[in-house]
A and B are shown apart, each in its own frame.
Chain A
Amino acid sequence: DQQVKQNSPSLSVQEGRISILNCDYTNSMFDYFLWYKKYPAEGPTFLISISSIKDKNEDGRFTVFLNKSAKHLSLHIVPSQPGDSAVYFCAASAQYSGAGSYQLTFGKGTKLSVIP
Chain B
Amino acid sequence: ETGVTQTPRHLVMGMTNKKSLKCEQHLGHNAMYWYKQSAKKPLELMFVYNFKEQTENNSVPSRFSPECPNSSHLFLHLHTLQPEDSALYLCASSQDSGRIETQYFGPGTRLLVL
Contacts and interface: CB of A to CB of B under 8 A. Distances in A.
A44 B99 CA distance: 20
A60 interface: no
12 contacts: A31-B100, A32-B100, A42-B107, A42-B108, A43-B106, A95-B100, A96-B56, A100-B55, A101-B56, A102-B98, A102-B99, A108-B40
Interface residues of B, number: 26
Given A43-B90, A43-B107, A107 B42 contact: yes
A44 B42 contact: no
A79 to B, nearest CB: 25
A48 to B, nearest CB: 10
Interface string B75-98: 000000000000000101000011
A43 B4 CA distance: 9
Interface stretch (B13-21, B43-51, B66-74): B43-51
A70 interface: no
A104 B45 contact: yes
Interface of B: 4, 6, 31, 40-43, 45, 48, 50, 55-56, 90, 92, 97-108
A102 B105 contact: no
A96 B50 CA distance: 14
A49 B102 contact: yes
Interface in A1-45: 2, 4, 31-32, 34, 36, 41-45
A93 B90 contact: no
Interface string A94-116: 01101111111111110000000
Contact of A106 (B42, B55, B107): B42
A107 B5 CA distance: 24
Contacts of B45: 103-105
